[in-house]
Amino acid sequence: MNLLLFSGFLGSGKTTLIRAFAQRLTDEGLTACFIVNEVGEVGIDGRVLGDGGLDVYEITAGCICCEIASSLVTTAEQIVERYHPDLMIIEASGIAAPEGVLKALAHRRGELFQDQLVVSLVDPTRLEMLLAVALPLTEAQIGGADELVITKLDEATPDELAAARKTLRDLAPQTRVSEITSENPDSFLPLLGRLATFGASN
Amino acid sequence: MRLRLAPPQGAFAEPHEVICALLEELGRRTESAGASLIGHLKCYVDAPSGESFHGSLTSLRSGPRCRGERAQGATSLTVDLTALVYGLSADQVEAVTLATLRHMQEQGRFEWELRELNHEHGHDQGDGHAHHHEA
């Protein structure tokens, strides 16, 4: 089993992308389990994913990168024991640093899962504000990614898009960057293809 | 927080419009109250018919969105609402949310009842962590 971690600030489009990816996995005959972490007591994203027919484990009322990391390990163990999926997909909370999530699971790598991939989503319409308000978090989410995704192409101005591309080049020059919009499902396809290949590679 | 919304009379013709209006008003008020950044205002809505949908707002410029079943004609809505906002304390977010609900009731959009109020969950402020508040 491989581990795929979706990171990105609140409202950056993680749940939307995961729903699209789940359909792609189904089409390719791959199995996956989903862990959704939200900082609030009431899980919204887990219910949204559940509406898509997905088996979702929710971890709420804290952040899995620090406060309740042990819950993540326990949940991952349960998933492996019960389902042996091809892929374990984690939607981190919007305030999680991917490094913290991976650190929580690091001692079980090679046992619970083999390979790992971090995908961080970036909302270009709010990136400038985020860099001003939550710089360390933003840097951690961008710098900790293996693949970066600029979302909301349809909402961003040309200047916002140009600034987002430059910020990603500056913070993560070696990392591949995709650009998607939920208004154009075709924009997801190359990214989903790469992620599916990763899922099938265990 | 969990809310129950009821129409002033009859049924909600377009529940998506009601929820979008609620999220937009809440967004406006959090910014007016001094929020430095709207993280995510989002909700999951259940209708008595079993239909459900979710609503989301990440900025006033992008505006609110509802996706899912339309639940037209619902006689009530159960709403799980989360407001993740930077720059306001948890108490302030809660106060703004309740003021928003009162305002919308006064405007005749719906009547509301608070079913459950969640506790705040703060977050460490060490490296890589942001600080937000939730109601």
Domains and CATH numbers, chain A: 2-200 (3.40.50.300)
* Contact with chain B for residue A9, Cβ under 8 A: yes
CB B132 within 8 A of CB B93: no
- CA B45 vs. chain centroid, Å, equals 10
pLDDT for the residue numbered B130: 45
Question: A interface mutation test: which of B121, B131, B133 has the most A CBs within 10 A?
Answer: B121
Closest partner residue to B118 (CB to CB) among A11, A40, A139 is A40
Flag if A99 and B37 touch (Cβ within 8 Å): no
Cα angle value B95/B99/A59 (rounded, 5°):
55
Flag if A95 and B68 touch (Cβ within 8 Å): no
* Contact with chain B for residue A152, Cβ under 8 A: yes
Closest partner residue to B56 (CB to CB) among A11, A97, A125 is A11
Average pLDDT over residues A167-188: 96
pLDDT for the residue numbered A67: 77
**Residue ranges in chain B whose pLDDT is less than 70:** 119-135
> Which token pair is A62?
């804290």
Closest partner residue to A99 (CB to CB) among B56, B124, B128 is B128
Average pLDDT, chain B: 90
* Contact with chain A for residue B40, Cβ under 8 A: yes
* Contact with chain B for residue A67, Cβ under 8 A: yes
Flag if B44 and A47 touch (Cβ within 8 Å): yes
pLDDT for the residue numbered B119: 55
CB B123 within 8 A of CB A100: no
Burial of residue A38 (number of CB atoms within 10 Å: 0-12, 13-18, 19+) = buried
For B56, the closest chain A residue by CA position comes to A11
Average pLDDT, chain A: 93
Residue A194 has pLDDT above 50, yes or no: yes
* Contact with chain B for residue A50, Cβ under 8 A: no
The DSSP output letter for A185 is G
Average pLDDT over residues A43-65: 86
Residue A132 has pLDDT above 50, yes or no: yes
Q: For residue A29, which amino acid is it? A: G
Flag if B80 and A42 touch (Cβ within 8 Å): yes
Residue A190 has pLDDT above 70, yes or no: yes
Q: Which of A35-49, A54-68, B24-38 has the highest mean pLDDT?
A: B24-38
